[in-house]
Every structure is written in C-alpha cells, then in structure tokens.
Chain A
Amino acid sequence: MSENRYWKSVEERDSSLPRAGRSESEAPVALPIDRRGFLKASGFTVAGTLLVGCSRKPVEKAIPYLVQPEEIVPGRATWYASTCGGCAAGCGALVKCRDGRPIKLEGNRDHPFSQGGLCAVGQASLLGLYDSQRFSGPQLAGRQSGWDEVDQAVTGRIAEVTASKGRVRLLTDTVTSPTEQRLIDRFLRQFSDAKHVVYDPLSSSAILDAHQTTHGLRVLPRYRFGRADVIVSFGADFLGTWISPVEFTTDYRSGRNLDGDSPRLSFHAQLESRMSLTGSNADLRVILDPAEEGLALGRLAEKVAELAGTAYPGFAGTSSSVLEEATLDDLAERLWQARGRSLVVSASQSSRQQVLVNYLNQLLGAYGATIDLERPSMQRQGNDIALAELADELARGSVDLLLIQGVNPVYDLPLPGLAKAVEEAPFVVSFAASLDETAARADAICPEPHFLEAWGDCEAVAGVVSIAQPAIRPLRDTRSMMESLSVWLGEPKSALDLIQECWLEEILPRTSALSFRSFWDHTVRDGSALIAAEALEVSPFVISAVEPLGSVGQDEHFTLELYPTIGLLDGRHAHNPWLQELPDPVTKVTWDNYASLSPVAAADLGVGESDVVRLEVPGEQSFELPVYVQPGQHDRVVAVALGYGRLGTDRFHTAGPKWLQSKPTVDAGATVGVNAAPWTTLGKEGRGYRRSGVKVIPTGRTYDLASTQTYHFLSVPEKLAPTDGQDRPIIQEAVLEEYLEDRSAGAPHLHHFESDLWGEHEFDVHHWAMAIDLSACTGCAACVVSCQAENNVPVVGKDEVERRREMHWIRIDRYYRGDPTAPDTVHQPMMCHHCDNAPCETVCPVIATLHSSEGLNMQIYNRCVGTRYCANNCPYKVRRFNWFDYAHDDKLENLMLNPDVTVRDRGVMEKCSLCVQRIQEGKIVAISEGREVADGEIQTACQQSCPAQAIVFGDLVDPESRVSKIFGDPRHYVIFEELNVRPSVGYLRLVRNRPAITAGHVTEEQEDSHHG
C-alpha cells in the first residue's frame, strides 16, 4: 500500500474491517420488494397521480400592502448591514430580507475584520429567529405574564435590596456593546454591593490574566495571523472555534496566498493532543501529550531565549519525551529567523503557560507586530476567578438579587450545587430568549429579542464599532436587556434611543465626524465604522513573572480533553437543527457527541467505532459515550465535545420523516448527546477543560453514530481507468519548495484525449465555472450552512443521515494520508461539477437533467421522476434524492424559505445548481441597467460566506475573469480528468509549507521497497 494514498476513515484504509464495504454503491441495501409488490405500488402511484391531477386549483388570494413602505418592492430583496450575534466575535453581517422577512445572512465585505466571511454558526443563527420555542413574552414564577407585572416584581425587589443594602450580582457573558455596558454600570451603581461578573463558557481567561501579570493590563490582545510568517499554536483552534474564527481565518488566509507573482505561504505549526480543524490545516502538526504542553512550551522558550542571547529565567528541567529535540530546534530557529513576523498562541487555561507564551512573543518582537495591544480584542472578557467567587457566594446563598444574561451557568458550569443554589436564591432574573437550564430556575424571565429583531451595537475589537439593526418587527413580546434595565432605572427608553445617546456621548468624541447625524447614518448604512481606540497604558514587560514549567505527573489513565465543536460551540446553538446536522469538519459526525480515541488507544481497549465506553473520573459522575476512532490524536487522550445534552433538545424527536422503519433522532425525553460540561473544572486557577486520570471502560453496548465520512466514495471503476497507467489522484498536493520551482508541481503526467465521443461544446454568452483553492480552504463548513439557507435544503434527522440520505448540496470531503497515528489532512469541498460531458445527463430517461447553453447542468424538478440513475452515474456523488417530503410543517420556520428556490417534493433528485437563481438575478439586473454582467458581480452562496475566500465563481467566456485566469493557472486541476467529463468546477492544488518529503514518509517508503 502506498503511503501516499488518501483515505477517509480508518476502516477504509484497512479494508479488512467490516464497514468499508458500505460506501461503494449508491444504494446501500437492496430493496425488499418483489414483482407483485412492485406492480401494486406502481398501480397505486398511477391512480394517485390521476386523482391529484383531477383536483381543481385552489383559489389563491393576493393581498397587497395598504400603504407600501417606500423601500419595499414585493419580490425584491432588501439588504441591511448588521452585526452577527451568533457569538461574541461580532462579525459584520448583511441581512437579506424578502417582503419584510430576513431569509439569509451573509458576510459584510466592508467590515474591518470579518471582511465578508461568515461562519456556519453565524449563517445558521438566522434559524434561531424563527424558532417556535422562543418565549412568547415575559414570565413570572414560571407563568406567562405581562411586562408591567414583571417590572413591578423586579423594581419591588430592587427597592428591597437597596433598602437592605443587599448583594446584587449580574452574570453575563462577554459584553461587547458599549451601550449595554453603560446601562449595566448605571444600573449597578444604585446598589451598595453590586458586581458585574463576566464569564465566557469557552474561556480565554488565562490569556487576560497572563497579560495582567506581564503587561499590567487585563486585556486580550488581537492576534494578527496575516502578519505572521511563522505561526506556532499550542492547541488553539483559531480557524475553528477559538475567540474569533472568521477574523482569524480571513487574516490567516491573507498570509497564505499563492496567487500572483510573489506567493507567500506562512509556516504554521500546531502542537495539540486532539485533531482540531486548525491542526488539520497545519504545515507541521505535532501530537503532544497534554501533560507535556507546559514542558514543550518551556523548552521552546528556552531555545528561543538561547537564540536571542538572553538567559531563560527558568530552566525547563527534564527533556520532553514525545517532542523530538530536532523538532523543537527547528521551531525555535524558524520563530527566531522570522522575529517580528512570528507568533505563538496557546489555548491553554493555565495562566503560567500563558505567561510563558507572552515571554516568547516578547522575545520574538511579536508585540506591536503580530500582536496588537493598541486595538485589543474585546471578544473575551470573562474573569474565571470572579466567577469562582460568585459560585461561592451562590453556594452560601448570600446573593439577594441575581441577574443572568447570555449565559447558562446551570448547564455549563461544573457545579452540581448550582442548580439548587439558583433555585433557592431569593430572586433571579433571566434574560434568556428560550427555555434553558438556568431560566427554568429563574423567578422572572425577561426574554431578549433575537439580534435580527432589535437595535444593538458592538465594539468587538477596540476602535471597530458596529451596529445591529432590526430587520423584522419582533416576532415575540421581547425587550432587550438595556431596555429592561432602563425601565428598572425609572427612565424607560427604547434601545435605539439608548444607543444613540451612548454613541453621541461616548463614540462620537472618538471620531473626527462633524455631525452625529451623518456619522450615525453612515455607520448604519455600512454596518461598522473605524474610530480611535482608547489608549491603553501598557507597562513594560515583567520578566520576573516567567516561571519554569515542567511535566505534569502522568499516570496510565487517560486525559480527557473537552472542546467546543464548530456548530454548537458552548451549547448555545444546540436547538439549531442546521448546526446539529452539520457534519463536524474533522470527524464528519452529526447529531451526537462521542468519545474520540486514537486508533492505538481504541485497539488497546478492544473497542471500535460505535462501541459505548464509560468514562470515569474519580469522585465524579461517570458518563457513557460512543467511541469515535480519530486518527492523529494522542494515544492517552480521550476527547469529548461540549455543547451537547442541552435541555429541550428532545424536540428533535420529530426531526426527519416518519415511515415504517424510521428511528427518531433522539428518544422522547432524552437529549441530543451528553453534556460534558460537568467535567470541566472551575477553581482558583480558573476554568479548565482538561481532566487527567480518566478511566475508559468498555461497556459492551453499541450506539450508532451518524457519520458521513465514508459516504459518497469517489473512485474510478477499473474499466474506465486511464489507459496510460497513470493515476490521477483526487487530491493533488505539493510542497512550497517544489511549487516555487515549478508551479505545476504535484500534477500527474497529463494524458490528452485524442478521440472524444462528445462533440465540442460551444458557449457563446456565458460559461459559468468555479474554482476552489485547496490551499485556502480550511474546511470550516461555513459554505455548507450558507448553501443550506440559500437553497432551502431540508434537515433530515439522524436516522436518515445514517442511511446516507443527508441532503447537503455541498459537502466537504475530508481525506487523510499516511500514518493513521499522525496523518496529513485535506479538506475538499465537493458539489455538482457541472460537467460539460455530464454522465448524469446521458442516463436520465426523462431528460430531467440536461445542459444549459451557459454550461450549467440543470436539474428540472418538475420533470424528474426519480429513477436515481443520474445519482448512480455521477462520479462525484453529489446528487441528493428526496426520499420524503421533508418537514415543512413549522409555519414560523417556513417564513425563512428562499422564495427564489423551489421547495422540492418527494421523489425528485436535486443538487447544486451553482446558485442559478443568483445567476438569473445578476443577468436580469445587468439587462435592466443595459450592461453586461461584471466579473465578480454574481456570487454563489458558498463563495460569499467563505472566510478564506477559497471559492471563485465566474464566467469562462470572459478571458479576463478571475475564474478564467485561475483555470489557466498551472496549479489548477480537475478531478476525474481521465473520465473526460470536463467539469466546470476545478481545484487549485494544495501547497504545504514543509520540506520536500517528511522524514517519516521516506523511511516508510524505503522500508516498503525493501520488503517488496
């Protein structure tokens, strides 16, 4: 077996394992139907069709506005600039509204840091607006109530607390809104003992604490990955879930740009113990024992200090057992050579390690270069020490008034007594929008609106202010926290008034704008504005704070790593079916969390995928989870995702179609996945996401995971293999060194087709095509959700995913290569390739799929009879069949459907259309303006939201278009060239910044040849 072979799962790599077979054919099981059954079924079908045909068309009403708002033209989309509220990162978003309803979120290209990208969570947060389970109005003592009653109760309590000089605590997640902060300060000022406690469920508190130690300022710096030529990350999943992934991905991409004459590819090393999305993109990935993270950091610091000619304040002591000395030397050398252009980041929650990171960055001159302290990030402000104090106070029952906004402490804090403490606290106010574990125990619930329904503001990075504007009239009787606070302060004002007041007094003086009106109007139109950042007083680097770090004691047990997933993050989006069904970018599992084990660890334990294991932590409740075998993970690590097991996720019991053999996505009364948050730690050191001494015990039971990784297997049948004996891999890659010498490095020897059964295709007006840069794509899955929103792609539920019937039009194939214990990873977005010589078109008996004059492979739903021949004949496996009428019974959710795209019926095939509705719109706009379509004017949904700008769409007829140029790039290749299908979708070869062939591969291949 060649070590250069790519594989999707361990089972596939080692084909003796049982599961590999199931990926081969389009229909995994033969239909249990006999001739009589078939005849009966077809008879009923014919009769049914006739009956349907006989029915009269229902009378349809057309109800126009009485007074049509000036900006609304029925049928035309209006776009509003806003700020995404999916997480605290505060990316710029554009809201597409049709007839007064937001139907799509997209990135705002004018936004200073997100620059047009929007992640999967941001895209999917639209669905939260139409969530029918949001609170319909305020609640008091668990009962529906009115605002007057609630206000009366709260102000009554406030008066009592003020009189008794009681203790008031406001618990929120990071507050990036200047107005909200102002209101909070004003509100808390009236009490003698009031405190605003901020915590981030996904904490970065240690970084802030470390800067307090080393710089005298509790601040989260802004990391500028784009300015770095060498990036060393210790477990920070900055492309996936860490702090501000869209910003970091956009920035990272700008430092890894192979376009043009002077290609630049930063070197990225990731040292981590589990396979993160960021790690899967690294040029060098080192699998690190979590116990040795501090040690490795210390050794690296020592080596860099040596190169810098200064004395390392502490001696690291014992040498690392896993990390080779040569690797560390190489990293130190690279970092030092690129000083001023290098960056070290760590996601560690140990402030001692973070101090060491700061020391390294200080040595490397990163501050002021790749680390921005002048415009620091405000995206994480949590203080875990303060949180621990509050937990103590709550446990003692000494908080008289507790207000909770944006967080769900009963769910995500590892404090078993907290639920009871909150329940028993004298008065708890929750601002939750829908029922969660904490709100269920609150006395008063003052639901906040969705961010698309209300005015809001945000300063996510110092000096970058943005506005969130309402795009729809509130669907529920809600009130934002600032409005509630202003009511309780006795001066009720609307959110808009409050924000304008704050901006007039606090934001305007930081600008050079002449009038508030014009500044405000411009900011609302653009969505954001760059203003001066408040000057921070940074004290000189305190070197004495640096302490030596050694290895933490090890035992034979496992270390548990708790991590957020791309979709659910800390669990706040667990009620979002799009995110639940989004395959994890690395494991490709949907609808569940699981215990990831390395192949070696799984073999040692004698477990395989889907076997349930029990995780036991001494002195804590044990949990049972199915195993997922994850190549590239440390053998002593078991990784479990946070964010699952949320209250009320049994709502997905009804997700997906009902039929004889269907199984519910989740059992009634159960939750999707298991809540792993009780295993996190909260103590004097702050929040921790790691536990050592965890026992993993096989239970002998099994539980099926719905993973899409072995589905849609791309292969060339032997009969059709190229005659020249050359293999044309699906993934093509090269290393930077080779690429700089030869831009077509990594290409197989090309075979030119001399004879062609197909005639030449002529495209006169347009020939739409797409190119995807594999060097840029990080696999973040923003495109998958963007496509789902744009094209009305249904959610099918776990059982259907298990039956390989997921409906996503674009998927991201994740391939591994090489050693299963430490593989290379490639992410390859895959959608309909719109082949000129399309194999699907020739087999359709009813011509429901055929070619357009503009190079599109069209799928005509009303003509399709559902033979599925096309899907079987598609070499890219991108066609999706509607086995059912997927649920569209949630009237509220249906408001979000894109009216420009047909909602498909049962029994028809569907697939990527290259967003033909956008192409049509673009062409019509051009016609109405009497001009040609400009290059880049039409963007597909996947392209628009891609934070890495990996996707380019355009017209091949125009030789000057970007996509034409890319198609002429020597790095460009198409998959299955040997089949002569002539796809309109091509890829740009992956280029890694690493030495020509990694040492490991050479030796293994040599060994192979010796044996052979």
Chain B
Amino acid sequence: MNNRITTLILTVALVFGLFALVPKLAGVRLPGNQQGYEPKQPIAYSHRLHAGELGIDCQYCHSGAKRSRHAGIPAASVCMNCHRFVAAPRSAVRAEELLAEEEGRQPGKVVSPEIAKIYTALGLGEDLLPDPNLTQQPIEWIRIHKLPDFAMFDHRPHLYAGIDCQKCHGPVETMESVRQVKTLSMGWCVNCHRDPYEAGIVLDKPQASIDCSSCHF
C-alpha cells in the first residue's frame, strides 16, 4: 500500500514538474541546432566592411559556390589580391601620414595587425615576397555553417535557382563577425523545398525536390 502511494506521489510530482518546465523548454534547442553560433575567428575579418561597405560580391571570395558542393573559404592568396596593396585601413594610413608630417619624417608602412596575420600565414617577408626562412601556416577558421555528415548539401543548384546567399546565411553583409542566423534544421530546409515560390525562386520551373535522397545518401 505504501509503495503504491509513493509511486502515485512521484508520478504526480513528475507531471507537475514537466508542466513547470514547458515554458522554459521553448528556449532549449534540440541537439545539433547551432543557431546563433558566433565563434571568435583567428582573424577579425569583417563581412560588414568587405561585403557591405566595399560591396565585394560574395562569390568573389566564395567562388566554389557555383562550381562545387562547397562554397569554400577563400585561400589566403585570394586575400592577397587586394591586401598586397592594402595593408591597413585608410584611417590608419592617414593617421600615420599626419603623424609623420608633424614629426617631419617620411611616413612609415602601416600594417594592420589583423592583415599581418595573412602575411604571417603565407610566410611573406617585409617586402610581401615569400621569405624562405619563414614557414607557412594555414589559417584555421572556425566552421560555423555545418550540416551533419548524413546531409549532403550542394550550393550549385541553389545558386542556379537564383537564391540569394542571405536567404540561408542571413544578412552577412551587416555582420562584423559571422553568426549562424538560421537553424539549418531539416524542417527549415524542407519548408522551402515544399514551396519554392515562397522562397522567391525566379526560375520558371523550380525543381526543389522533397525526396529524402535529394540530401540523404
């Protein structure tokens, strides 16, 4: 008899406990959902500056998007296309020029500490030429947008369907450091695949498939 009462009390307590937790459960993310993930990257690269202010096309750097599954992270050599000539923000260069004028000397070379990291990675010397004495060290970016191994996402069909990068990656051009905006969950993918027009697809015949094997194989 005692046992039964104890069980009853425990069950009731459990049910009440669960009800009490429900409002809080809304804030709990399912395992694997990395929405809002914003790690500190090895170089404080600003998408706001490059993509937003300077208006560089996304695919200038992420050129894999139209050729491969992966959009890719640009090689350091791609950075060097500009940063061979741009070593520091204009404001810093201007400040140095003013200071040099004040002190009555030739302005020195200003290298932003963040941009210097690219030079270090590539093992470049003072003159920005490869220095055999320096070792090259690849830049280890922290991956943000990541799907599980059993989901095969391919950038190409989405790109050719005319979907904006921002549709999935959020307003990256406004971000100082990149953050995962969407859940990247299966439900989120499928909702768009179910009704491509809703997603603003411009093709005549959008072929978004909801077959499992579109992504899982």
Contact = CB atoms under 8 A, between A and B. Distances in A.
Interface of A: 53-55, 57, 59-68, 73-76, 765, 850, 852-854, 856, 858, 860-863, 900-903, 913, 916-917, 920, 923-924, 927-928
B179 to A, nearest CB: 15
A920 B31 contact: no
Contacts of B209: 852-853
A74 B70 contact: yes
Nearest to B213: A858
Interface in B55-70: 64, 66-70
B158 to A, nearest CB: 10
A66 B216 contact: no
Nearest to B77: A67
B141 A856 contact: no
Interface stretch (B5-13, B83-91, B104-112, B146-154): B146-154
Nearest to B63: A73
A74 B64 contact: yes
B156 interface: yes
B213 A74 contact: no
Given A65-B76, A73-B67, A765-B207, 17 more contacts: A57-B32, A57-B34, A60-B142, A64-B75, A64-B139, A66-B121, A66-B122, A67-B122, A68-B77, A74-B68, A850-B212, A862-B148, A902-B150, A920-B152, A920-B213, A920-B214, A924-B156
Contacts of B212: 850, 852, 858, 860, 863
Please give me the 7 A-B residue pairs with the lowest Cβ-Cβ distance, nearest first.
A75-B70, A68-B75, A852-B211, A75-B68, A75-B69, A76-B68, A62-B143
Nearest to B209: A853
A335 B77 CA distance: 69
Nearest to B34: A57
Most buried by A among B74, B138, B143, B217: B217
Most buried by A among B73, B75, B136, B141: B75
Contacts of A76: 64, 67-69
B171 interface: no
B161 to A, nearest CB: 8
B156 A62 contact: no
B140 interface: yes
B45 interface: no
A63 B151 CA distance: 21
Contacts of A765: 207
Contacts, number: 126
B72 interface: yes
B56 to A, nearest CB: 17
Taking chain B's interface residues, is the majority helix, strand, or loop, or is none over half, making it mixed? loop
B208 to A, nearest CB: 11
B216 A902 contact: yes
13 contacts: A63-B138, A63-B140, A64-B73, A66-B122, A67-B75, A67-B76, A67-B122, A73-B67, A74-B70, A76-B67, A852-B213, A856-B213, A920-B154
Nearest to A913: B217
B178 to A, nearest CB: 12
B142 A62 contact: yes
Contact of B216 (A67, A858, A903, A924): A858
Nearest to A904: B150
Interface of B: 31-32, 34, 39, 64, 66-70, 72-78, 121-122, 136, 138-143, 146, 148-152, 154, 156-157, 160, 207, 209, 211-214, 216-217
Nearest to B155: A75
B55 to A, nearest CB: 23
B170 to A, nearest CB: 18
B64 A928 contact: no
Given A852-B212, A913-B213, A927 B160 contact: yes
Contacts of B217: 858, 900-902, 913, 916-917, 920
A64 B211 contact: no
Contact of B143 (A60, A67, A927): A60
A282 B160 CA distance: 52
A909 to B, nearest CB: 13
Most buried by B among A54, A66, A73, A858: A66
B211 A854 contact: yes
A64 B69 contact: no
A64 B138 contact: yes
A75 B153 CA distance: 11
A59 B64 CA distance: 23
Contacts of A853: 209, 211
A66 B138 contact: yes
Nearest to B118: A66
A89 to B, nearest CB: 34
A61 B140 contact: yes
B75 A65 contact: yes
B64 A73 contact: yes
Given A66-B75, A920-B217, A59 B142 contact: yes
A62 B141 contact: yes
A911 to B, nearest CB: 12
Contacts of A59: 39, 142
Contact of B76 (A57, A66, A924): A66
Contact of B150 (A53, A55, A862, A917): A862
A35 to B, nearest CB: 22
A903 B149 CA distance: 8
B45 to A, nearest CB: 12
Contacts of B34: 57
Nearest to B186: A862
Contacts of A917: 152, 217
A73 B64 CA distance: 6
A923 B140 CA distance: 33
Given A66-B77, A73-B67, A61 B154 contact: no
Contacts of B77: 65-68
Most buried by B among A54, A57, A901, A917: A57
Contacts of A75: 64, 68-70, 72
A901 B140 CA distance: 26
A929 to B, nearest CB: 9
A113 to B, nearest CB: 34
Nearest to A849: B212
B15 to A, nearest CB: 19
Most buried by A among B74, B140, B146, B212: B212
